[in-house]
Chains A and B, each alone.
Chain A
Amino acid sequence: MRRPSLTMTGLHALLSHWWRNPIQLFTLVVGLSLATALWSGVQAVNAEARASYDAAAATLGEGEFEQITSDSGMILQADYVRLRRSGWLVSPVVEGQLDNARLIGLDPLTAPNGLGPVDMSNGQLTVDMLTSGVFFARQETLDLLGEYDISLVQSPDVAPGVILTDVGTAQRLLEMDGFLSRLIVAPAQPMNQVLFTDVTPKLTLRTPQNGTDVARLTDSFHLNLTAFGLLSFAVGIFIVHGAIGLAFEQRRPVIRTLRALGFPLRRLMALIAVELLALSLIAGAIGVGLGYIIAAALLTDVAATISGLYGASVSSTLQFRPEWWLSSMVIAVAGTGMAAATSLFQLSRMPLLASARPRAWAMQAGRGRMYQAGVAFGLLILAALLGLVGSGLIAGFGMLAALLIGAALALPVVLDRVLAFGTSRAKSVIIEWFWADTRQQLPGLSLALMALLLAMATNVGVSTMVSSFRLTFTGFLDQRLASEFYVYANDADQAAELQIFLTPRVDKVLPIQSVDQDIRGLPSEIYGPTAHATYRDNWLFLQSAPKAWARIESGEGVAINEQLARRGDIAIGDKITIAGKLFDVLGIYGDYGNPIGQVIVTEALFERLFPDSRALQFGLRMDPVDVPALTNELRNSFGLAETNMINQAGIKAFSLNVFERTFNVTGALNILTLAVAGFAILMSLLTLATMRLPQLAPVWAQGLTRARLGRIEIIRAVLLALLTAAFALPLGLALAWTLLAIVNVEAFGWRLPMYLFPMAYLRLAVFAMIAAILAALWPSYKLARTRPADLLKVFSNER
């Protein structure tokens, strides 16, 4: 009977602290919940996207199997049968756009993955599918379809935006009788095979295309989201660390009393650990719930961004997947553990009869700060070193981490020096007191200010990156989409007719012919544009040999994009092999957003190298005013679909729309991280407010009114926020530079130029100030309303 009652007494004593300090409890739970919410929200979005990519990959075998493709984009069905009859185990794929969905036709009998995610355990369904036709898709995709005399089967595991069906059905609906889009090569092939080139010399056998793997492409986008999640989690953990540390300090007397009464230290520590575990589980669960709401709100925009930027489909409905909510719970508990580790360690070593006086944990300074400054300096040096000599994505992220943590640790030290300087320059007593008192409060506020710094720096860094990307990309589109109108023919015959039809109607018809080829083992496209001022004027080289365009136009050499140059380690003057012939690289141009390599040769050279290739696309130089009329004419005379005709203005509007969506996502995350930081400031100020009475009472006694003291509190908060903002700006720019010049190059193979957006930074500083004012409002109001009796009590209680 004694033991449980002892434990219960201990637990009761410990828990009573939270009853007496509900705001601390609130801080702890809300801080942890917010941190977990952002983390789990971001993880939920990522998990949903990854599930969508996996579904797509499972269907198509892209990145898993070799593929056979054709320069013209079409493979004769007869060639497919010829390959099969020569011992090649290949499987046909027919794909195309049906209404607003992507129709993919497979042959379930020969496809290496069967029908991918579709459940075929219903025999009658199988029979229907092979004979009359069945569509398998998500309900949201089926909703996009018009009327077809085909059974619809809802299949939630099919990739979003994709309809799976039989190859024959797809051929019929896409009017591709006798043609296939590409072939998938089964992993196991028979012993006896006719040489591939002897069967179909005009087709290309390609290794699994990791270069265009959707998951890899979208990695940077998800990396950005993850970075946001992690940063806000770190900010949240700062808050939790603060709250736990304070609680431990304030509970020292209770703990000492309990131990003096004979309560074993081990059990005491176990009780505290259980208490923290329970708190972190509760906060984690709230956080996961909030995270779900955040993710659901973001997902539509994320899905739109990803489909716009990378052409990958992501489901816009969120599922409650264990991979994200479980990992969020784990990180909530682990984060609490991390935040509590020091305090628990100190508790375990506390002498039994240590002073019960609150050591004013928040006031610790001196030796600790020197140590902190040393670590900060070391980390910043490490970041600089990584930036100078490091290589690889890991080094890039290492640099980011060292930079951010180093800067956060350096912040209190820098602020302390600034405030000391202010004190030394003060002209009046009150101002001098203001500076000195602010400086004295700094240790207690430093965690919150570090959170604010990180939030602002991330904000500056990420918005600089996204805005730079937008500027570069729209500028790039202006360069690249120099033609006013683009037309895509369905086949070579139509292309020939189109060219004849268009030539008298526009200023210039620029055929765009291209083939897919591996250059130095990297998947690349070779383009052979017609020599025209359009290209010379608009394609700017990043690096080039002298008189590059003139020499390329004479067929002396080629130009390649930056991706190919970086990945293939190709410099100006190097030679590359195209269609078995060697060519000098004379120019390297920027090609933003393109996942794969690209080579530009002259039209004449292209026709020599690939005599069988026919241009199916045309760029048309014309008066933009005439575009709608020509669109109509083409629709009526050639039956061209909307998707075959692209208006330059339309592409630009579309791209801008994509960026708007991206901005919505980053904007929302920015505001949330700032809110978390603002909350941290509020909580720190509230905590300090009660502890600071002994310092304020004398000032009040000397004649400063409570109202004035309250106003000074607000000014102080604004000053600290401004100082932090001043420090956050260079940090944010350093962050942006690392993302653009290091992480982006490593992840994608191209470097983005960095632009500055002073107005955006100013706006951010204003936001930070507003956050600080809002955070200081309540504490200062409380201060202004402190009863004089309470202030007087300070003197009577003075130790």
Chain B
Amino acid sequence: MNAKVFFFLLFPFAVSAQGFAGLGLKDDSFATPQIPAIFDFPRDHGPHAEYRIEWWYLTSNLEAKDGTPFGLQWTLFRTALAPENGTGWSSPQLWMGHAAVTTADSHYVTERFARGGIGQAGVTAYPFEAWIDDWQLVGPDLNTLRMTASGPNFAYDMDLEALGPLIFHGNDGYSVKSAEGQASYYYSQPFYAVEGTLKLPDGDVQVSGTAWLDREWSSQPLSENQMGWDWFSLSLDTGKLMGFRLRQTDQTFYTSATWITPDGQTTAYPDGAFSAEPVSNVTVKGRTIPTQWRVTLPDRGIDVTVAAINDQAWMDTSVPYWEGPITVTGTHKGVGYLEMTGYE
């Protein structure tokens, strides 16, 4: 499909040959996140046309009745060619959807594209609905959602129920991404309980588990010397941990993390508190990708090994990256999701 080449050019993080490093390009006509971050809900669950990129990013760790693990992803990206809504086909708002299901030996991926302005894709804040084509994440509100997606060889239909509050990363939702101060608005709903049906080539599977929704928007989230990121969301026996490491061209890293207690209390950690080190690599689509990691947050006594359930969970989409479910062992036990971008 030609959209592949095409979208590489459209999505800002694909503009340059360095792939995700394109997120570092600046355009003054777009708005930039400000401190203090002030949110207005439910309005802010909806799109922010004046910012260049935005996503509704949901990952889920599931199990069948017999204990077989599954991972599931539902993502809607928005990108703007200009900071306005526009109408009809000439709207500068473009949408991209990614959906995936991961098992221990298979990884099903599919993607969709849509123009804003004609109703093929979009997000409304209240009642909440995010959709592209037949895929939807729809609720009355963000606490109760139904999530559907379908590809040529998989489909799913899940019910989600939030069992805890929204949590805000960084400085009350203002998440700094580099020493130069690039930032995004970033909040999550990490407390979903999930139940539903996976439709796979071998038949239907009833599954249940947990899900984590990330909401993030900005206009220039990365610094020019950053090439990609490794992002972890871990559901551990004593709480939840979000941590990421931005890889910089001088081989150094910028890290950030949020510790979340079971009742939703958060502690934000600045650069350096959290660390993630690759333990072993695999070759995926000709790229060397670390799928086993040592992750530490000494302040919380966390020193765990993170391993992919399926190390071939490559998102072979127009903007390719690795995204898949993981298991956690070491000082803490649990499951989670790992996303790695910018591996060329």
- Interface of A with B (CB < 8 Å)? 77-78, 81, 84-87, 89, 107-115, 120-123, 126-127, 130-131, 166-169, 171, 177, 188-193
Contacts and interface: CB of A to CB of B under 8 A. Distances in A.
B81 A127 contact: yes
Interface stretch (B113-121, B212-220, B328-336): B113-121
Contacts of B155: 190-192
A198 to B, nearest CB: 13
A115 B2 contact: yes
Interface string B115-159: 100111000000000010110000000000000101111110000
3 shortest interchain CB distances as A-B pairs: A114-B2, A168-B89, A190-B150
* Most chain A CB within a 10 A radius of its CB, from B6, B15, B81: B6
A87 B133 contact: yes
B267 interface: no
A15 B110 CA distance: 70
B166 interface: no
Contacts of B148: 192
Interface of B: 1-3, 5-7, 9-10, 15, 81-82, 86, 88-90, 92, 94, 110, 113-115, 118-120, 131, 133-134, 148, 150-155, 199
A123 B90 CA distance: 17
B81 A130 contact: yes
B15 A123 contact: yes
A607 to B, nearest CB: 34
Contact of A77 (B118, B131, B133): B118
Contacts of A109: 3, 6-7, 94, 113-115
Given A120-B2, A192-B150, A85 B134 contact: yes
A649 B290 CA distance: 76
A192 B198 CA distance: 12
A171 to B, nearest CB: 7
A167 B113 contact: no
A191 B155 CA distance: 6
A121 B14 CA distance: 12
A120 B6 contact: yes
A449 B127 CA distance: 89
Contacts of B7: 109
A171 B2 CA distance: 22
A179 to B, nearest CB: 12
Given A81-B118, A85-B133, A191 B151 contact: yes
B9 A130 contact: no
Contacts of B15: 123
B9 A120 contact: yes
Nearest to A192: B150
Nearest to B92: A131
A131 B10 CA distance: 12
Nearest to A78: B119
28 contacts: A77-B118, A78-B119, A84-B114, A84-B134, A108-B3, A110-B3, A110-B113, A111-B3, A120-B2, A120-B5, A121-B5, A123-B15, A126-B10, A130-B90, A130-B115, A131-B82, A167-B89, A168-B88, A168-B89, A168-B90, A171-B89, A177-B88, A190-B151, A190-B155, A191-B154, A191-B155, A192-B199, A193-B150
Contact of A190 (B9, B92, B113, B134): B134
Nearest to B133: A84
A188 B10 contact: no
Contact of A131 (B1, B90, B119): B90
Contacts of A120: 2, 5-6, 9
Contacts of A190: 110, 134, 150-152, 155
B152 A126 contact: no
Given A87-B134, A131-B92, 8 more contacts: A87-B133, A109-B94, A110-B114, A115-B2, A126-B9, A127-B10, A131-B82, A131-B86
A85 B132 CA distance: 7
A189 B152 contact: yes
Contacts of A107: 89, 115
Contacts of A115: 2
A540 to B, nearest CB: 49
Contact of A108 (B6, B120, B131, B150): B6
A89 B151 CA distance: 10
Contacts of B152: 188-191
A721 B118 CA distance: 74
A155 B220 CA distance: 34
A515 B170 CA distance: 63
A602 to B, nearest CB: 41
B21 to A, nearest CB: 15
Nearest to B108: A191
B117 to A, nearest CB: 9
A191 B150 contact: yes
B151 to A, nearest CB: 5
A121 B1 CA distance: 14
A727 to B, nearest CB: 59
A189 B15 CA distance: 29
Residue among A120, A121, A127, A177 with most chain B CB within 10 A = A120
Contact of A123 (B9, B115, B118, B131): B9
Nearest to B121: A84
Nearest to B201: A191
Nearest to A194: B134
B311 to A, nearest CB: 26
A85 B120 contact: yes
Contacts of B2: 108, 111, 113-115, 120
A81 B90 contact: no
Contacts of B153: 191
Contacts of B199: 191-192
B59 to A, nearest CB: 21
Nearest to A84: B133
A181 to B, nearest CB: 14
Contacts of A81: 118-120
Contact of A89 (B81, B88, B94, B133): B133
A631 B82 CA distance: 46
A115 B199 CA distance: 33
A85 B6 contact: no
A47 B2 CA distance: 26
Contacts of A130: 81, 90, 92, 94, 115
Contacts of B115: 107, 109, 130, 168
Contacts of B88: 168, 177
A166 B89 contact: yes
Nearest to A86: B134
Contacts of B86: 131
A171 B150 CA distance: 30
Contact of A121 (B9, B10, B113): B9
B55 to A, nearest CB: 18
B91 to A, nearest CB: 9
Nearest to A125: B9
Contacts of A77: 118
A84 B133 CA distance: 5
Contacts of B113: 109-110
A136 to B, nearest CB: 13
Contact of B1 (A87, A112, A168, A189): A112
A115 B89 CA distance: 16
B140 to A, nearest CB: 19
B114 A126 contact: no
A551 B120 CA distance: 50
B232 to A, nearest CB: 30
Nearest to B113: A109
B14 to A, nearest CB: 9
B30 to A, nearest CB: 14
